[in-house]
Amino acid sequence: MHSKIFLNYSREDKSCLIPMLQDVQNIYNYLPEPALHEIAEFVGLPFSRVYGVATFYNQFRLAPLGENIIRVCRGTACHVKNSANILFALETHLGIKAGETTRDKKFTLELVNCIGACSIAPVVTINDDYYGRIGIKDIPKILKNYSQPAVKPEQSTAGKN
Amino acid sequence: MNKFIDPCCEHCWHTKEKPCELFIACCTEGPLCHQNRSCEEKFKSLNNHLKYIEHDQPVIFIGKGTCGLASGAQKVEEAVKNELQKLNIKAHIEETGCVGYCSREVIVDIKLPGQERISYCEVTPKIVPKLIQKTLVQKEIFSEKLLGTYGKGSGDIPNINSVPFFKNQRKIVLENCGVINPSSIDVYIAFGGFKGLDKALRLMKPPEVVKEISESGLRGRGGAGFPTGKKWELAANQKSDKKYLICNADEGDPGAFMDRSVLESDPYRVVEGMIIGAYAIGACEGYIYCRAEYPLAIKRLEETIKKCEEYNLLGNNILGSGFSFNLHVKKGAGAFVCGEETALMASIEGKRGMPRPRPPFPSVSGLWGKPSVVNNVETFANISSIIVRGAGWFSSIGTKTSKGTKVFALSGKINNTGLVEVPMGVTLEDVVFKAGGGIPNAKHFKAVQIGGPSGGCLPESVISTQVDYESLKSVGAMMGSGGFVVMDEDTCMVDIAKFFLTFIQNESCGKCVPCREGTKRMLEIIKRIPTSYRNTKLKTDELQRFKGVVHLQRLASVIQDTSLCGLGQSAPNPVLSGLRYFREEYEEHLYERKCSAGVCKELLIYTIDNAICNGCGVCVKKCSSDAIAGEKGHAHYIIEDKCIKCGLCYESCRFNAINVN
């Protein structure tokens, strides 16, 4: 599945390691170990170096994720507007801690440093949808959009303005 | 002729392969190489069309930056399209970036042929039919959501620049943001874009460009404020077969989003600045290192680079000058420390993004060991204006040591959140209360956090400080990249210090000991301050709690003095500025175990007012720790020992029967 990625890069280009990891992660949503081995071989670096890079950056994950990825922004502006409470409410609602995936593999809860939408803090993103200015009360309603299978979730809503 | 790249007649021969050096000048003043009335008309009408002056159909501008999209711009656009179809009106929808007034998004501008462009704010899909009916059918002003007009204002319709939010601003970097379509190179050229590049390539030699930038007094907008001209001069004087120019768009500061907005709303300006910079220092290759968290910005940049290559503004023999420059976008992978220039270069090279000691400075030995210049997005966005209007014009704005303007990202507890660009030298008070519109809900201003995790919290007593590099440093903050988070009385300063230390601790790359270990110890000390008696089980914990605070200041200064890079050196700033200005608050937490802001959870006590509680039972359902007891229909009680102080009951009570103190 990921073998096509190798065609886009040249072995001489030493800087291609991170873009390759990003591309592989785009396919699987995480970095499977066999793919890491293949990349290491391709770029001619020891596996330890590739693993070192993959664990250094926040973006890379070594374990598979749930179907929907919930990202809670923990930037300063969101923090000042009580995103800690939003996170806590999400954690209790889903029964998992930040960084974990629910047992039914539906949701993964992640923290993100700042997504740059500080003006509408606090912000939560689910997959590619933004939810701004949300309160604890909005959470069950938002999550409901994503819990039913096969129903396409509604496009992003602004929450209450 | 629909695009500038299209030839006006057989005389015009500009192509990607065979570039004409007069191309840019020709676009707005053309044709220059021959005289022909019909060609002149063609250029004039294309310019007027692109500048939205001449058009037959109404133009509807929709602000679709990330902030606009998050507020529902996509839905608004769909609603507009549906409504137009329903009423059978033909209109042109133009996508723009963010005008800066993020709290009033979605912003929709409507321009009827031959009339002024009028801006409407807070547009929702619901009011779209009303808006379209009023403006396009009845051809009147929809005064309910009116923001202002881009033309001459009068009476009820203010000019957009007289709206309080825009009044005290001076826009150089944000000039085009929210006004033009960010994905069209022709619109950018029609609005005067690439004029700086044209002037530099045709009329100036590289050392002259460097001299102009030096004389303008422009300083790095990334935070440290190193003179840009000097940086360029150092790199220009290096002899090397290859030099690199890098744009630092790894805007990791939580609470800062101006780089994102500029890249989304006016990417051509940044790229133009980079091409001029590359010409000045003699670089042939460039990188834009952008955060992966900004997908729209990356998309726009990639489009921009492709378009510039098509117009021969990037690539080989740019505009026939013999100068070649190639630009690439590198996606960051989510590491705050990569905003530090040496770490950033390590990351581009495909390594772990760890800083290295300087010297050698990147201007001497940077990316792949070659001379490299790293500048911030906002720095590059200033370059073309300086070249076009001259160093004298730029240095006339601002204070003695800090020239030009600075973009701040206002957020937090402030009425007008968004981007403001103010000349250096205005006071913090002006930014908070004039542009920012003060604090919402009649709360009291407490502090403003400037400069992200490296900056400090400034209280009301120093709010008359001028915005410039030196003044901010003297009061214990720093310019930083421009995050401007306002806090009110409900914000706890100990909690903020804890927040930033947690952030720094997570993001410390681990290379040097003071930063890796020191910040961890600091975080431990700060974390122990807001603990309740109940959670302090051992007597030694009690002792540690006080002992830590005694050592806090010394530990902070050791970290400052001995860390390897800027991240560590500035890591203690939030704590130090907290101790300097909010000592009483720290002492209150320490001695009285009380948090008057009501933030530090462990120190709070939740009670139910049994005179108000009617026993609806909502809080019982919400409580995750079975800490609420009571019979249905009767007042409930909170069992203190079980309560984990999550606050869910407080949030869910519809009768405000729950008190926190």
pLDDT in tens, A61-73: 888 888 888 999 8
Band of pLDDT at residue B19, cut at 50, 70 and 90: confident
Alpha helices (runs of H) in B266-340, residue ranges in sequence order? 267-281, 295-310
Give me the mean pLDDT over the B502-522 stretch.
91
| Window 412-431 of B, Cβ < 8 Å to A | 412-413, 417-418
Of B105, B292, B79, whose CA–CA distance to A132 is shortest? Answer: B105
From the CA of A4, how many Å to the nearest CA of chain B? Answer: 20
Is 50 exceeded by the pLDDT of residue A158? no
A50 CB near a chain B CB, below 8 Å? no
> Helices in B365-405 by DSSP H: which ranges?
377-389, 391-395
The number of residues in chain A equals: 161
- Distance of alpha carbon B262 from alpha carbon A159, whole angstroms: 26
A28 vs A21: CA distance, rounded Å: 11
ipTM: 0.82
Nearest to B334 among A57, A78, A123 (CB): A57
Pairing of strands A68-73, A124-126: antiparallel
Nearest to A22 among B331, B500, B652 (CB): B331
Residue B65 structure tokens: 């930056």
For residue B43, the SS3 value is helix
pLDDT category of residue B650 using cuts at 50, 70 and 90? confident
Token pair for residue A107?
């949701």
**For position B151, what pLDDT does the model report?**
83
Q: Is the dihedral of CA B249, B251, B252, B257 positive or negative?
A: negative
pLDDT surpassing 80 at residue B535 = no
Q: Which amino acid is at B319?
A: L
Q: Is B18 helix (H, G, I), strand (E, B) or coil?
A: coil
Of A59, A112, A158, the CB nearest to B333: A59
Is the minimum CB–CB distance between A157 and chain B shorter than 8 Å? Answer: yes
Residue B109 host element (H or E): strand B108-111
- How many Å apart are CA B387 and CA B393, to the nearest integer? 10
Residue B521, φ and ψ in degrees, nearest 5: -65, -40
Q: What is the pLDDT of residue A152?
A: 45
Chain B residues touching residue A161 (CB < 8 angstroms)? 71, 122, 124
Mean local confidence (pLDDT), B60-73: 87
Residues 82-141 of A with CB under 8 A from B: 85, 88-89, 92, 112-121, 123, 128, 130-132, 135-137
Q: What is the mean pLDDT of residues B552-573?
A: 90
Rg (CA), chain B: 28
Among B255, B350, B648, whose Cβ lies nearest the Cβ of A77? B255
Which DSSP letter does residue A30 get?
Answer: S
Cα B294 to chain centroid distance, Å, stands at 11
What is the mean pLDDT of the segment spanning B417-424? 91
The pLDDT, as a whole number, for residue B516 is: 92
Residue whose entry in the numeric block shows the structure tokens 């290295």: B356
Distance CA A87, CA B478 (A): 30
Helix axes A47-56, A17-28, angle to 10 degrees: 70
Q: Does B351 touch chain A (CB under 8 A)?
A: yes
Chain B 124-163, residues with CB within 8 Å of chain A CB atoms:
124
User: Can you give the pTM of this predicted structure?
Assistant: 0.89
A:B CB pairs within 8 Å: 173
Strand partners, B483: B409
Residue A157 in this model has a pLDDT that exceeds 50:
no
Q: Is it the case that residue B661 has pLDDT exceeding 80?
A: no
**Percent over 70 (pLDDT), chain B:** 100
| Unique residue bearing structure tokens 């519109």 | B437
Structure tokens at B211: 């001299």
Distance from CA of B412 to the nearest CA of A (A): 5
**In angstroms, what separates the C-alpha of B660 from chain A's closest C-alpha?**
15
What share of chain A has pLDDT > 90, as a percent? Answer: 7
Extract the runs of DSSP E, i.e. beta strands, from B270-377. Answer: 285-290, 326-331, 372-376
Whether B214 shows a pLDDT value over 90: the answer reads yes
Orientation of helix A139-147 relative to helix A83-94, angle to 10°: 50
Burial of residue B110 (CB within 10 Å: 0-12, 13-18, 19+) is: buried
Taking residues B600-626, report their average pLDDT.
Answer: 84
pLDDT value at position B62?
Answer: 92
Cβ-nearest to B413 among A17, A80, A128? A80
pLDDT at A149: 57
Q: Is the pLDDT reported for residue B594 higher than 60? A: yes
Q: Chain B residue with minimal CA distance to A115?
A: B293
B9 CB neighbour count, 10 Å cutoff? 12
Q: Look at the block and give the residue holding tokens 């990607």.
A: B16
Q: How many CB atoms lie within 10 A of CB B188?
A: 24
State the Cα–Cα distance between residues B54 and B648, nearest whole angstrom. 57
* Of A59, A80, A88, Cβ closest to residue B334: A59
Query: Which residues in chain A have their CB less than 8 angstroms from residue B413's CB?
Result: 80-81
Residue type, B411: S
Q: Give the distance from residue B143's alpha carbon to the nearest chain A alpha carbon, in angstroms.
A: 19
B66 contacts A117? CB cut-off 8 A: yes
pLDDT in tens, B296-317: 899 999 999 999 999 899 999 9
- In a 10 Å sphere around its CB, with 0-12 CB exposed, 13-18 middle and 19+ buried, how is residue B534 labelled? exposed
Q: Look at residue B67 in the predicted model and tell me its pLDDT.
A: 84
Per-residue pLDDT, averaged over B219-233, amounts to 89
C-alpha span between B89 and B531 (Å, rounded): 64
Query: Token digits for B283?
Result: 């670089």
DSSP conformational letter for A95: T
**Which of B47-72 are b and which e, b meaning 16 or more Cβ less than 10 Å from the residue's Cβ?**
bebbebeebeebbbbbbbbbbbbbbb
Q: How far apart are the first and last CA of chain A?
A: 44
Q: How many angstroms separate the Cα of B46 from the Cα of each of B55, B107, B199?
A: 10, 26, 22
Residue of A114, A124, A133, A155 to mutate, interface with B, max B Cβ within 10 Å:
A114
Continuous H helices in B88-184: 128-132, 164-167
Helix (H, G, I), strand (E, B) or coil at A68: strand
Predicted confidence (pLDDT) per residue in B358-413, tens digit: 888 899 899 999 999 999 999 999 999 999 999 999 999 999 989 999 999 998 88
CA distances from B355 to B352, B416, B512 (A): 9, 37, 10
Specify the pLDDT at position A1. Answer: 66
Q: Do A77 and B509 touch (CB under 8 A)?
A: no
B/e letters for B322-342, b = 16+ CB within 10 Å, e = fewer, are ebebebebbbbbbbbbbbbbb
Give B451's pLDDT tier (boundaries 50, 70, 90). confident
Q: Which residues of chain A make contact with B372, given a CB cutoff of 8 A?
A: none
User: Which residue do the tokens 């309910």 mark?
Assistant: B144
Place of tokens 């330890």: A48
State the Cα–Cα distance between residues B477 and B523, nearest whole angstrom: 20
- B441/B429 Cα distance (integer angstroms): 18
Residues of B in contact with A117 (CB under 8 A): 66-67, 70, 257
pLDDT over 70 percentage in chain A: 91
CB atoms within 10 A of CB B192: 16
Mutate to test the interface with A, among B78, B290, B293 (most CBs of A within 10 A): B293
CA distance B541 to B561: 29
3-state secondary structure labels for all residues of A37-60: HHHHHHHCCCHHHHHHHHHHCCCC
Rounded Cα distance between B497 and B189, Å, is: 46
Of A22, A81, A137, the CB nearest to B333: A22
Res. A44: pLDDT tops 90: no
- Please check whether residue B382 is in contact with residue B196, taking contact to mean a CB–CB distance below 8 angstroms: no
Query: Which residue has better confidence, B208 or B13?
Result: B208
Q: Cβ of A119 and B411 within 8 Å?
A: yes
CB-based contact B518:B558 (threshold 8 Å): yes
* Alpha carbon separation from B651 to A72, A80, A135, B148, B647 (Å, rounded): 19, 17, 9, 38, 6
Asked if B496's CB is within 8 angstroms of A79's CB, the reply is yes
* Partner residue facing B70 (CB), from A79, A88, A117: A117
Task: Label residue B141 exposed, middle or buried (CB < 10 Å: 0-12, 13-18, 19+).
Answer: middle
Torsion of CA B49, B54, B59, B64, to 10 degrees: 40
Q: Which among B354, B309, B310, B345 is positioned nearest to B327, based on CA atoms?
A: B309
CA distances from B221 to B208, B224, B281 (A): 22, 7, 19
Read off the tokens for A96.
């998992």
In the predicted model, what is the mean pLDDT of chain A? 82
Residue of B nearest to A158 (CA): B71
pLDDT in tens, B84-111: 999 998 989 999 998 888 888 889 999 9
Confidence of residue A159 (pLDDT cuts 50, 70, 90): very low
pLDDT tens sequence across B309-352: 998 999 999 888 889 999 999 998 888 888 888 999 999 998 89
**Residue type for position B316:** N
List chain B residues with CB under 8 Å of A52: 352
Give the pLDDT mean for B111-138. 90
Preceding amide of B359 cis, omega within 30: yes
Q: What are phi and psi of B147, to 5 degrees?
A: -105, -50
> Å from A101 to nearest chain B CA?
20
Give the CA count within 13 Å in the CB-facing half-sphere of B163: 23
pLDDT at position B35 is: 84
Whether A161 has a pLDDT exceeding 80, the answer reads no
Within 8 A of A25 by CB-CB distance, chain B residues are none
List, for residues B154-178, the tens digit of each pLDDT value. 778 888 888 888 988 899 999 998 8
